[in-house]
């Protein structure tokens, strides 16, 4: 195995950019085109290393690297990986991005061997690979955190299945609902969000490595090998399509993240509304509220207002991502670089509001007597219509009879509910919803990716 580079260190100026041809670039242009890559790329560092290990192993298998060269590169890449995990990895001033930094470190340590790591790949398939691996891991975090919130909602639904609450349409009191039905509705909404996220994961979990700049390479690379080494379900077969996935993947994933964000935003809006004095359905514990600088009685639901706003902001991400790539022809364009700026941080924003919602909603106190308020006496009118229908009165006539009683103030509510069909107040079917969620989550098969990455580092 080759020893660490002992000769004269390569000139740093020659290693700042992978595209450097030895000609000076205007500093303002260099800074502008690099954008925020040097900061954002820290999120991609360990994936760049894992991708490089797989690439090196493949290059060795087809004879483009000797066994010793591949061994020394893999060993050094593992050292870099450990530095990343220990928080010691930095992208040095003047280095354009993580890809340049890793190659610079390899060249500094291994000399000429380090310069061979970029053989048969482009920065285009390299960054696309890094993003896909980053997204795979982040989707896993989102799935696990969402599953935790889902279980909380199912538990609350079961606990409150017999506790009635008013249901509203058009912001008007409408029909009887229950707190169990309300919590369960949001739980099932999350299962549908997971289905959409799974579809975006399927698009993400395709190997682009070997597509190079989008037109392949004359080297006889083994794309199946890197696909298996990195735990991808399959490869992007057509190299042009692989590059066209840049932007498309982010847009699709952003839309799926927006589905979860939408559910959380609506739930937050309900809690803001229902915890207010005009509704009084529930109460947020004071430790989860904020006060007013001049009104001593205020207990503001700021946390849910921020969850609502963050959720709405996340829903806009897919539109922003789509607009950056709108009307671009096939092939790579620097426009795609800007997608990272809001896309990468979006995962942590979503994870934060899922976690906070999960924590706070467990402490919400429910008003068990809300249904007995006088203003809700008419919401049982549909039940009265149905009772008349069951006795043989045509529905339209029964509707008019009850409406007449309400108009003449002759209607008196009988607070009796008999909803037994699937998914109703009296038959929540939460076990079916839980089965649906478990089936979706098991379909991700995260263990395959986890094992592949461990094997690369072993």
Q: Which sequence positions are flagged as catalytic?
A: 170, 292
d(CA 31, CA 24): 13
d(CA 458, CA 448): 15
* Closest to 52 in 3D by CA, of 112, 3, 108, 100: 100
Strand pairing partners for 169? 172
d(CA 245, CA 241): 6
* Closest to 310 in 3D by CA, of 351, 255, 251, 339: 351
Query: Which one-letter DSSP state was computed for residue 205?
Result: S
d(CA 267, CA 310): 13
Query: Which one-letter DSSP state was computed for residue 176?
Result: E
**What is the token pair recorded at 373?**
């308020």
Q: Is 53 exposed, middle or buried (0-12, 13-18, 19+ CB in 10 A)?
A: buried
d(CA 184, CA 263): 12
**What is the token pair recorded at 315?**
């829903």
**What is the token pair recorded at 201?**
């994961």
CA angle in degrees (0–180, nearest 5) for 384-387-393? 110
CA angle in degrees (0–180, nearest 5) for 352-355-357? 105
């Amino acid at each position: 195995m080759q020893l660490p580079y002992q000769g004269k260190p390569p000139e740093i100026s020659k290693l700042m950019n992978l595209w450097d041809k030895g000609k000076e670039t205007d500093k303002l242009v260099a800074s502008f085109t690099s954008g925020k890559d040097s900061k954002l790329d820290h999120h991609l560092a360990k994936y760049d290393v894992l991708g490089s290990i797989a690439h090196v192993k493949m290059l060795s298998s087809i004879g483009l690297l000797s066994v010793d060269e591949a061994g020394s590169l893999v060993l050094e890449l593992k050292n870099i990986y450990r530095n990343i995990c220990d928080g010691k990895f930095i992208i040095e001033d003047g280095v354009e991005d993580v890809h340049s930094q890793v190659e610079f470190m390899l060249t500094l340590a291994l000399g000429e061997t380090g310069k061979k790591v970029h053989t048969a790949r482009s920065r285009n398939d390299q960054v696309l690979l890094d993003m896909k691996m980053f997204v795979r891991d982040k989707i896993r975090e989102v799935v696990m955190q969402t599953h935790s919130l889902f279980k909380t909602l199912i538990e609350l639904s079961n606990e409150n299945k017999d506790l009635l609450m008013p249901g509203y349409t058009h912001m008007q009191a409408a029909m009887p609902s229950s707190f169990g039905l309300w919590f369960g509705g949001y739980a099932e909404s999350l299962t549908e969000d997971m289905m959409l996220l799974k579809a975006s994961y399927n698009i993400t979990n395709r190997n682009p490595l070997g597509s190079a700049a989008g037109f392949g390479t004359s080297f006889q690379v083994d794309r199946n090998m890197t696909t298996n080494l990195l735990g991808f379900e399959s490869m992007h077969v057509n190299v042009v399509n692989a590059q066209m996935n840049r932007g498309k993947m982010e847009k699709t994933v952003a839309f799926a993240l927006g589905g979860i964000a939408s559910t959380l935003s609506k739930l937050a809006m309900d809690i803001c509304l229902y915890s207010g004095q005009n509704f009084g359905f529930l109460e947020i514990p004071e430790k989860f509220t904020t006060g007013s600088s001049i009104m001593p009685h205020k207990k503001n639901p700021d946390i849910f207002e921020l969850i609502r706003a963050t959720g709405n902001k996340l829903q806009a991400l897919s539109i922003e991502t789509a607009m950056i790539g709108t009307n671009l022809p096939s092939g790579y364009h620097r426009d795609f670089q800007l997608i990272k700026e809001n896309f990468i941080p979006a995962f942590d924003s979503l994870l934060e509001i899922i976690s906070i919602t999960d924590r706070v909603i467990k402490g919400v106190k429910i008003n068990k007597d809300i249904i007995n308020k006088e203003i809700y006496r008419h919401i049982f009118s549909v039940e009265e219509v149905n009772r008349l229908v069951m006795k043989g009165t045509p529905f339209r006539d029964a509707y008019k009879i009850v409406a007449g009683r309400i108009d003449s103030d002759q209607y008196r509510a009988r607070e009796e509910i008999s909803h037994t069909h699937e998914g109703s107040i009296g038959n929540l079917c939460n076990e079916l919803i839980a089965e649906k969620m478990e089936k979706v989550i098991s379909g991700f098969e995260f263990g395959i990716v986890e094992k592949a990455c461990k094997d690369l580092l072993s």
